[in-house]
């Protein structure tokens, strides 16, 4: 398929977004930036257009999509009613990296919600995303713009790798600030249930609506058989190499990883990578013939979160077969990062 790469220079931007919006309205798929990750969008009211998203990504049909809107009042056409706690979260955190699940209106097609009686809605902070939605004149259903199972795209280059030739158009603009997908919270339960941690943290949510439940698949390091957010059950965020996470103190993590590296080297293995932090790079610098990358500074969870998917993809570029990642201290700020890191490792720890 011919893919239009939109001109996003200052002079051309408005015209490009108008054209891209028209293409969405006419049933095409367009990749666009948000503040979390790039999305692969289609007119949410056009089942045939939404179906093409699943084909481009190779996404299983039972994994529902998030519907993106440009103004808070647009939610009324999508959901039956807005619970009071949802109203509070909307006032506090939209536009932003937070997706709310509510009972859907009939007009939301089954292909968007995978036949569920609920719909996931988000109002992104990215001005580019909002302008595109406005130009389209319809809500945009969009999953992350990666091939299913790969790390979500946080850079233009990632989008080109995964989607060039598979979609009608690509908008590249470096709007990404979070680098992990939005927080997903189910507002149909009481208390509401966190289904996917993201840029809006548990503390952020609880400050506004009081205690929430956290889905067991987030708190326990297991791949659940039956999960409420269908997307959480598939292999995710996986580079081609095998990811293993080392637990313990900084010293213990380094010892475990170095001993694995030495064993692999002794067995003649090639393509070994280490994902460390700025503070711990020093432990591995004496090793030859390994790819050594930093996630960022341990003091800056936001930076580490923003870098994760890019670093996982970098190991692919470098043809790495064995990726050893250091575990990160768990707190409110790192919950989303750890959730994605552990998934990328298929919950494999040493
Ligand atoms: O930041 C984001 O959320 C990005 C950008 C593009 O907005 N989008 C994104 O979409 O991450 P996706 O499709 O990769 O993830 C959507 C998640 C999946 O885990 C899916 O199962 C869940 O939201 N989801 C969607 N609708 C749902 C529903 N009705 N009930 C439960 N989970 C739902
Ligand atoms: Mg995704």
Q: Hey, which residues does 196 pair with through a beta bridge? A: 184
Looking at residues 237-264, what average pLDDT do you find?
A: 93
- For the Cβ of 65 lying below 6 angstroms from any atom of ligand 1, the answer is yes
Position in ligand 1 atom list of the atom nearest CA 39: 6
Query: Is the confidence at residue 9, as pLDDT, over 90?
Result: yes
User: How far, in Å, from the CA of 265 to the mean position of ligand 2?
Assistant: 35
Q: What integer pLDDT is reported at residue 234 of this predicted model?
A: 52
93, two tokens: 């955190």
Mean pLDDT of 219-240: 58
Dihedral of the alpha carbons of 207, 212, 215, 218, in degrees to the nearest 10? 20
Residue closest via CA to ligand 1's atom 32 equals: 229
State what percent of residues in the chain have pLDDT above 90.
89
Using the atom order of ligand 1, give the atom closest to the CA of residue 122.
Answer: 7
Adjacent-strand bridge partners of 326: 246
Does residue 29 register a pLDDT over 90? Answer: yes
Determine the average pLDDT of the residues in 143-165: 96
For residue 275 and ligand 1, the question of a CB distance below 6 A is answered with no
Instruction: Take atom 21 of ligand 1 and give the residue whose Cα is closest.
Output: 231
Mean pLDDT calculated for residue range 313-330: 96
Does the C-beta of 189 come closer than 6 Å to ligand 1? no
226 has a pLDDT exceeding 50: no
Q: Is the distance from the beta carbon of residue 194 to the nearest atom of ligand 1 less than 6 Å?
A: no
Between 190 and 223, where is the model more confident? 190
The dihedral built from the CA positions of residue 300, 306, 309 and 310, taken in this order, carries a sign that is: negative
Q: Identify the pLDDT of residue 61.
A: 85
Kindly report whether the global pTM for this prediction surpasses the value 0.85. Answer: yes
Mean predicted confidence (pLDDT) in 129-158? 97
Task: State yes or no: pLDDT of 72 exceeds 90.
Answer: yes
* Closest CA relative to residue 150, chosen from 347, 338, 315, 337: 315
Calpha distance 32→174 (Å, rounded): 10
Q: DSSP characters for 247-284? A: -SSHHHHHHHHHHHHHHHHHTT---EEEEE-TTTGGGT
Q: Is the pLDDT of residue 197 over 50?
A: yes
Q: Residues within 5 Å of ion ligand 2 by Cβ?
A: 144
184 lines ligand 1 (CB under 6 A): yes
pLDDT at 231: 52
What rounded mean pLDDT belongs to the chain? Answer: 94
Token pair 């503040």: residue: 35
User: Does residue 230's CB lie within 6 angstroms of at least one atom of ligand 1?
Assistant: yes
Q: How far does the centroid of ligand 1 lie from the alpha carbon of residue 301, in Å?
A: 22
Q: Which of 64, 124, 185, 224 to mutate to test the pocket of ligand 1 (most atoms within 8 A of CB)?
A: 64
Per-residue pLDDT averaged across 155-182, rounded?
97
Instruction: Judge whether residue 232 has pLDDT over 80.
Output: no
pLDDT-derived band at 321 (thresholds 50, 70, 90) equals very high
Contacts of 29 (CB under 8 A, 6+ apart): 40, 41, 42, 49, 52, 53, 56, 167, 168, 169
CA-nearest residue for atom 19, ligand 1, is 231
HEC states along 162-218? HHCCCCCEECCCCCCCCCCCCEEEECCCCCCEEEECCCCCHHHHHHHHCCCEECHHH
**pLDDT for 225 beyond 80:** no
Q: Is ligand 1 within 6 A of the CB of residue 176?
A: no
* pLDDT for the residue 218: 84
Per-residue confidence band for 235, with pLDDT thresholds at 50, 70 and 90: low
**Residue 112 Cβ < 6 Å to ligand 1:** no
Cβ of 35 less than 6 Å from ligand 1: no
Return the closest-CA partner of residue 131 out of 89, 178, 75, 171: 171
Please give the number of the atom of ligand 1 that sits closest to the Cα of 180.
Answer: 1
Average pLDDT of the segment spanning 232-257:
85
pLDDT tens-digit readout, 87-108 = 999 999 999 999 999 999 999 9
Q: Is the CB of 147 under 6 A from ligand 1?
A: no
Average pLDDT over residues 194-209: 98
pLDDT reading at 227 higher than 50: no
| Span 206-218, pLDDT tens digits | 999 999 999 988 8
Tell me, in angstroms, the distance from the centre of ligand 1 to residue 297's CA: 28
Task: Please report the pLDDT score of residue 308 as a whole number.
Answer: 97
Question: Which pLDDT score is estimated for 224?
Answer: 44
Q: What DSSP assignment string belongs to 276-342?
A: E-TTTGGGTTT-SSEEEEE---TT-HHHHHHHHHHHHHHHHHTT-SEEEEE----STTTHHHHHHHH
């Amino acid at each position: 398929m011919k893919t239009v790469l939109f001109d996003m220079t200052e002079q051309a931007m408005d015209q490009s977004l108008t054209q891209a919006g028209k293409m969405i309205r006419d049933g095409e798929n367009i990749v666009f930036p948000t503040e979390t990750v790039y999305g692969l969008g289609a007119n949410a009211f056009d089942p045939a257009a939404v179906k093409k998203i699943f084909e481009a990504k190779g996404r299983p049909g039972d994994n529902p999509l998030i519907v993106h809107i440009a103004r808070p009042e647009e939610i009324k056409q999508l959901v039956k009613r807005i619970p009071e706690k949802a109203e509070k979260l909307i006032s506090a955190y939209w536009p932003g990296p937070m997706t709310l699940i509510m009972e859907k209106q009939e007009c939301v097609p089954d292909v968007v919600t995978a036949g569920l009686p609920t719909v996931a809605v988000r109002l992104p902070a990215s001005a580019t995303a909002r302008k595109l939605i406005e130009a389209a004149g319809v809500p945009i259903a969009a999953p992350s713009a990666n091939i299913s199972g790969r790390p979500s795209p946080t850079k233009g280059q990632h989008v080109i790798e995964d989607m060039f030739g598979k979609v009608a158009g690509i908008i590249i603009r470096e709007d990404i600030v979070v680098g992990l997908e939005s927080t997903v919270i189910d507002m149909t339960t009481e208390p509401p249930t966190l289904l996917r941690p993201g840029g809006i943290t548990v503390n952020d949510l609880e400050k506004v609506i009081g205690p929430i439940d956290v889905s067991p698949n987030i708190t326990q390091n297991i791949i659940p058989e039956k999960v409420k957010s269908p997307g959480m059950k598939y292999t995710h965020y996986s580079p081609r190499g095998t990811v293993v996470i080392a637990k313990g103190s900084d010293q213990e993590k380094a010892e475990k990883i170095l001993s694995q590296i030495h064993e692999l080297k002794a067995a003649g293995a090639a393509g070994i990578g280490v994902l460390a932090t700025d503070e711990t790079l020093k432990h591995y610098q004496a090793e030859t013939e390994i790819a050594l990358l930093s996630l960022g500074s341990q003091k800056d969870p936001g930076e580490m979160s923003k870098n994760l998917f890019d670093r996982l993809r970098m190991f692919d570029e470098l043809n790495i077969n064995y990726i050893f990642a250091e575990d990160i201290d768990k707190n409110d700020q790192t919950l989303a990062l750890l959730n994605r890191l552990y998934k990328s490792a298929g919950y494999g720890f040493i």
